[in-house]
Amino acid sequence: MTQLKYHFSWDKAHTQILQIKFEVSGNTHKQLEIRLPLWRPGRYELGNFAKNIMSISAHAKNGKALKLVKTSIHSWILETEEEQEFEISYRYYAAVLNAGSTWLHTDQLYVNPVNCCLYLPERMDEPCELTLDVPNNYQIAIDQKEIGSRTYRFSNFDRLADTPFIASASIQHLEFESSGHHFHLWFQGLKSIQETKLKTDFSRFCAEQIRCMGELPGQEYHFLFQITPQQSYHGVEHLYSTVIALGPEKDLFGDSLYTELLGVSSHELFHAWNVKWIRPADMLPYNFEKENYSRLGWIYEGVTTWYGDLFLYRSGVFDFKAFKTTFEEKLKKHFNNYGRFNFSVADSSFDTWLDGYVAGAPHRKTSIYTEGSLLTFMLDSRIRAFTNDLKSFDDVLRQLLADARQGLGYTRERLIEIMDSLGPQDHREFLGNYAEGCLDFEPELRKSLRRLGLDIGLHLDLKPVEHAAGIKLSISGQQADVLLVAPASPAEKAGMATGDQLIALNGVRWDLALVPDLLPDEKLEITAFRNAKIITFNLLIEVDKFFTSRQINLIQDAGEDERNAFRSWSGQDFPQ
């Protein structure tokens, strides 16, 4: 008999207060520690979910109140008085709707159990049950089978914590088969659905991922979509499912947002292998009680970012133009971030727990997603070049998966060992320069692209004054605020700073439409508000030098070697 049981219900959905009961039997202790996770996998920062607990109490089976004392921001001590059975009841405020949250409203109950399920540290490996008291007309999107009416059984707490679900009367459900696996698409908040389009595209990239990596962890996989009326973009991985929040709903099947839907879906599916299965030794198993530091975030997020889009291209869901666009977006983020010369992607991975999901100090850090994806491309190119395309980073991933099947997490040394085994090369220095150091990526990116018959050229997509002065602006109507100032730029040398509000250029009221064409060594006088004071800056500009991006170009006279390399890498013919 299962001795750990959770029960979810509510009285008034519009209050967004969820009532949760945690029933425990088989207790043998006079005193127990009760905890709530401090963070959730997929978001490497502290979540502090206990802030949502409105009230909490404990009672023995006979109704006698038990003393429950909070001892930290996420833990309590329970005086059990040697009661073998007891119940902890608490009210949880479920008012955040994203891909990793818990949300209750009049149309649905959406739960990530890692947010809101208490646990006993010494009994985390025991089976547990979850029962949902929801209206009879509600469907439940979950990757588990019922063992009773609205009741589900989990092998341990980690399995429960990794199982999000949506209960709703309006959820829409599609199913399809691909490469011997059964896939589910659940859409909450979508008014009309394009079934054929979705099934066709999803089955293609799912099949390509399975072709590359082998079987998924389970025979079934669930995509749970929260389609919102407002703009949103967020995805969170789980072993047998993913939750994706995307909006606005009215634009879902438009070219731009549908491309985002495919991109985030492919990304999150690949996470089933890369991080849910293939995981750093630092995080094996997850520790819900504290930060799980790792300098290998560029692998579990950057590699996934790269392969998520690459699988869409290999499968033919993306054409070259669509893939090129996603590649150029990565290049733009990379070249616009001067933090790449200050903080390595390995150190940025460690510091996701500090400021990884906020802008933070200007130019302090890099993105494990962006830098990691470009680093993956460069590593893949090196392996392919040394082995004449007989091996690739695909083989690195498959060996990491073989290790994971044996219960092994990877380390930096194991990664180097695997890569070095594929050809006569030493990856230690390469990782030291690019993953753990701040060496400029551009020469290696050019080398990797040229091998495929591609190149990168300068791309200017901001206002000329931004490229020339070294400022990135936030523009709303006629108001322009400085978001960033490039290091060693004319703006920085003149004393400009983030937050300055531009009001005049060369003595004339600021108006971007009136900014003249700029020439090298031209002098500009910029007047701005800073802390309610007027300041004037004199700049000697440098044209087209700052906050520049790159575009990918075809090498028109690409030879047969480059075309063959392109075909081996992408599975597609060289674009015309």
**pLDDT at residue 424 greater than cutoff 90:** no
**pLDDT at residue 329 greater than cutoff 80:** yes
The whole-number average pLDDT for the span 142-168 is 98
Amino acid 511: pLDDT: 84
How far is 442 from 447, CA to CA, in rounded Å?
9
How does pLDDT run across 293-305, given as a tens digit for each residue?
999 999 999 999 9
How does pLDDT run across 344-372, given as a tens digit for each residue?
999 999 999 999 999 999 999 999 999 99
Amino acid 206: pLDDT: 98
Which secondary-structure segment (H or E) carries 428? Answer: helix 427-434
Domains of the chain (ranges, CATH numbers): 4-168 (2.60.40.3650), 172-272 (1.10.390.10), 297-459+550-570 (1.10.390.10), 464-540 (2.30.42.10)
How does pLDDT run across 252-270, given as a tens digit for each residue?
999 999 999 999 999 999 9
Amino acid 1: pLDDT: 78
Question: What is this structure's pTM?
Answer: 0.96
Which secondary-structure segment (H or E) carries 490? Answer: helix 490-494
Confidence band of 544 (pLDDT split at 50, 70, 90): confident
How far is 410 from 404, CA to CA, in rounded Å?
8
**pLDDT at residue 518 greater than cutoff 80:** no
**pLDDT at residue 512 greater than cutoff 80:** no
**pLDDT at residue 513 greater than cutoff 80:** no
How does pLDDT run across 366-416, given as a tens digit for each residue?
999 999 999 999 999 999 999 999 999 999 999 999 999 999 999 999 999
How far is 485 from 497, CA to CA, in rounded Å?
6
Confidence band of 18 (pLDDT split at 50, 70, 90): very high
Residues forming beta bridges with residue 529, ordered by sequence position = 501, 534
Amino acid 203: pLDDT: 98
Percent of the chain with pLDDT over 70: 100
Question: Which amino acid type is present at position 298?
Answer: W
Classify the phi-psi angles of 29: left when phi > 0, otherwise alpha if psi is within -120 to 50, otherwise beta.
Answer: beta
Give the CA distances from residue 529 to residues 49, 220, 423, 480, 535, in Å, rounded to whole numbers and listed in that order.
40, 58, 58, 11, 6
Which residues are within 8 A (CB) of 286 and not within 5 positions of it... i.e. 6 or more apart?
A: 41, 158, 292
How is 513-564 classified by DSSP, letter by letter?
Answer: GGPPP--TT-EEEEEEEETTEEEEEEEE--TT-SS-EEEEEE-TT--HHHHH
Q: Of the segments 154-168, 449-463, 503-517, which one has the largest average pLDDT value?
A: 154-168
The 10 Å Cβ neighbour count of residue 121 is: 13
Judge contact between 530 and 499, C-beta under 8 A.
Answer: yes
b/e for 383-396, b at 16 or more Cβ within 10 A? bbeeeeeebbbebb
Helix (H, G, I), strand (E, B) or coil at 106: coil
